[in-house]
A and B are shown apart, each in its own frame.
Chain A
């Protein structure tokens, strides 16, 4: 496997280099005169006359080897150690909205732990009528719900605050995944423990923490806890992956990924926020004057063109071009995405593949014609609250450049006449 992973990008580069060099004249060859018969058609190919693999060859399959560049990537210099670090979803190569779990990004603070269902315990304590302990089997006996939501790291695009830094949508926007979760509403579990003793719920909180060494404790206001939070044990139809919190994680729709506590082991009802490390030292957003916002939970409306993009250049020459990307909002459904090819001078409204779903990724397409001229591609999301995704300049005007988190600015790709794309900032 590692050989394939190492080998593939090289050959892909070589392929692209070849096609870019030939771009000017030969690109149309694929569709132009078919004077010479294509041997892939006129000669019997091995797959058309022999056997493929038997049904017992792959009890649980991985993608075909030719897709081996569609993988999570690490950026070594970002963190001191890979166990408290981040990797990136290959959004430049995906389509639709559901993220395959095997390449969905990871963020751990003390590594991805191995926690068996048999060893799993969930405690609810604090201001509840009866503090409870659940086993995994207990959780499967509560009524379940299914919902699709995006999980976006608060730091997604955070390296881009001060300028154009990483060259690829995977790196600038890949701290995100979007899955269909199955689980039990957090509300159900809280009400199983009983909230009468908590009194007025308006000023109450829940503190949630994981079973790992980092704990990742976060405080969530009761209204959200009783709202749409899910205690999830399945994602995209199967058990959570180890690295995504197996066997149980919290799903906090629309809110920053840090709060989606993995390997969830304890839920405590409190009369105040705990102000843990992950909501004081981290996940607070410093403004230009040195004060910092805390409790910036919601992820605002955002979008990104995934193709063309630096890792997905145009290799087919001029003519029909599909510009596609993702849009999402923590406030609700995406209602519209506009695309600009000239750096924001003019905009066209893109087509949503499906009507936007609340707090979930939405796929957009702009089916267009490329004349081979350079483009400055941008996308601009709008959500059901009327919020319009801002430019980086607009964000900086309010916040300065030191917020680290919550960078939902409009991204620009510079597409050159040879089809390459680059992460740039523009005036």
Chain B
């Protein structure tokens, strides 16, 4: 009720301003600009703009993100999550590349370049043939493999009811044994190790 009357602050946003900043793309394709790019062009642009970190085949260099591979590993011990193995929507790939890549030089790609890069990443994940062209017209024909792999947060049903009530205070278990030690793994930065050195 306090908020009933506006304060008259701010000023109307102009269409040009909204167009400049609102570049999001929704899973249903809303927000995509007109344009097109094929795998071959994408290979070139990717080679120039992306491969130094993400590898010639989008397989990743060093610690930089892998964009391809890992198919079928999500239920493994160390799942490899890539566009092909994990991402649900192609819209996210287009949006993120367009908005935030290349790393350190974002918002420099044209829509056609983004379409081409996205086509190339699809190709790198064996999802399209090498003569594929992606455009605003056929964008929604592409479904990523893990589109059905997500569920909405279900902790309320699967967890909260279990970890609830009056907890054990006495005789909660018979034995306790140390099963793993961080010091044995020894990956904590040395210069931050202000702990005492153990005496032999």
Which residues of A are interface residues toward B (Cβ below 8 A)? 6, 9, 12-13, 16-17, 19-21, 69, 73-77, 79-81, 83-84, 109-110, 123-126, 130-134, 138, 141-142, 163-168, 170-171, 187-188, 191-194, 207, 209, 213-215, 217, 265-266, 268, 270, 272, 274-277, 280-281, 284, 286, 288-298, 300, 310-311, 313, 315, 338, 342-347, 376, 380, 382, 385-390, 394, 398, 401-402, 414, 416, 418-427
Nearest residue (CB) in B for A20 is B196
Q: A171's contact among B12, B155, B176, B188, by CB below 8 Å, is which?
A: B188
Residues on the A chain within 8 Å of B152, using CB: 293-295
Size of the B side of the interface (Cβ < 8 Å), in residues, is 87
Cα-based distance from A142 to B99 in the complex (angstroms): 31
Cα-based distance from A378 to B183 in the complex (angstroms): 18
Cα-based distance from A20 to B28 in the complex (angstroms): 63
Which residue, of B86, B151, B178, B194, has the highest number of chain A Cβ atoms within 10 A? B194
Residues on the B chain within 8 Å of A295, using CB: 152-153
Judging by beta carbons under 8 Å apart, are B95 and A277 in contact? yes
Cα-based distance from A275 to B90 in the complex (angstroms): 10
Binds A, one of B32-40, B100-108, B112-120: B100-108
Cα-based distance from A72 to B182 in the complex (angstroms): 20
Shortest CB distance A391–B (Å): 9
Main secondary structure, interface of B, reads: loop
Judging by beta carbons under 8 Å apart, are B165 and A388 in contact? yes
Judging by beta carbons under 8 Å apart, are A73 and B178 in contact? no
- Not counting A277-B95, A345-B176, a sample of 8 additional A-B residue pairs whose C-beta atoms are within 8 angstroms of each other reads A16-B196, A80-B65, A110-B100, A165-B182, A192-B7, A275-B89, A295-B153, A414-B178
Judging by beta carbons under 8 Å apart, are A167 and B188 in contact? yes
Judging by beta carbons under 8 Å apart, are A20 and B193 in contact? no
Judging by beta carbons under 8 Å apart, are B150 and A123 in contact? no
Which of chain B's residues 45-77 have a Cβ closer than 8 Å to chain A? 53, 62-65, 74-75, 77
Cα-based distance from A284 to B86 in the complex (angstroms): 10
Cα-based distance from A110 to B96 in the complex (angstroms): 13
Q: B189's contact among A6, A76, A217, A420, by CB below 8 Å, is which?
A: A76
Can you list 26 residue pairs at the A/B interface with Cβ under 8 Å?
Answer: A13-B194, A16-B197, A73-B189, A125-B22, A167-B182, A168-B192, A187-B3, A192-B6, A274-B27, A281-B83, A293-B153, A293-B155, A294-B153, A295-B153, A311-B192, A376-B176, A402-B79, A414-B178, A419-B196, A420-B196, A421-B195, A422-B181, A425-B178, A425-B179, A426-B176, A427-B175
Shortest CB distance B199–A (Å): 6
Residues on the B chain within 8 Å of A376, using CB: 176, 178
Judging by beta carbons under 8 Å apart, are A292 and B151 in contact? yes
Shortest CB distance B73–A (Å): 8
Residues on the A chain within 8 Å of B181, using CB: 164, 414, 422-424
Cα-based distance from A292 to B73 in the complex (angstroms): 13
* 7 nearest A-B pairs in the assembled complex, by CB-CB distance: A290-B75, A343-B176, A290-B74, A80-B63, A423-B182, A213-B106, A131-B13
